[in-house]
Amino acid sequence: MNTLFYKENLNDITYDHFATAAFAAMAAEYANVGVLGIPTGDDFLVFGSEGKENGKFYRRSVVSLRNYCGTLEMLITDAKGRFLVYSKVDGLSAEDVVKELFRQFQAVKQLVETETEPSFRKKEIGKEIIRLWREKAASFVQDMQMEE
């Protein structure tokens, strides 16, 4: 884990700081090879903490960037380690990718040091949504059977 761009305070993460960390993450050599043989760079921890404690991996209020197979990847978690944003953007200019990821950071910044709850809870999904999902799933299965 690279802590060169680490900040103690979320408000110290300016666009310029974020962009510098992002370009550094992309310029760094690959540090690991993932499960599927995909090369990944070192995690550039911009805020928060992660590691092992009592033999278990943890993340707390993390903002990190890394090079994942040539694509800039960002992970932001809350105080419990729940993912708030896990994002990769590609196909745009490098500057526009960084701008988009910084926009996403800004959108959830106020949640990073809190304990959040899932946006979609099972009890909040009404019967009408379930009925529509079943209808669409049945239609999809029927279409697939007709193609065989």
pLDDT beyond 90 at 125: no
pTM attached to this predicted model: 0.78
Q: Which whole-number Å values give the CA distances from 15 to 19, 20, 80, 95, 99, in the listed order?
A: 6, 8, 25, 11, 8
Give the percent of the chain with pLDDT over 70.
Answer: 96
Burial of residue 47 (CB within 10 Å: 0-12, 13-18, 19+) is buried
Q: What integer pLDDT is reported at residue 43 of this predicted model?
A: 92
Alpha-carbon distance of 132 to 111, in angstroms, equals 32
Average pLDDT, integer, range 93-114? 97
Alpha-carbon distance of 59 to 68, in angstroms, equals 19
pLDDT band for 96, please (50, 70, 90 cuts).
very high
pLDDT in tens, 16-43: 999 999 999 999 988 888 778 888 999 9
pLDDT band for 123, please (50, 70, 90 cuts).
low
Give the percent of the chain with pLDDT over 90.
Answer: 61
pLDDT beyond 70 at 68: yes
SS3 at position 54: coil
Q: Which whole-number Å values give the CA distances from 86 to 60, 62, 77, in the listed order?
A: 15, 11, 9
Which residues on adjacent β-strands are paired with residue 45?
A: 64
Highest mean pLDDT among 74-83, 125-134, 135-144: 74-83
pLDDT beyond 80 at 78: yes
Average pLDDT, integer, range 90-105? 97
SS3 at position 101: helix
Evaluate whether 5 touches 19 at the Cβ level (below 8 Å): no
Least confident of 51-65, 81-95, 104-118: 51-65
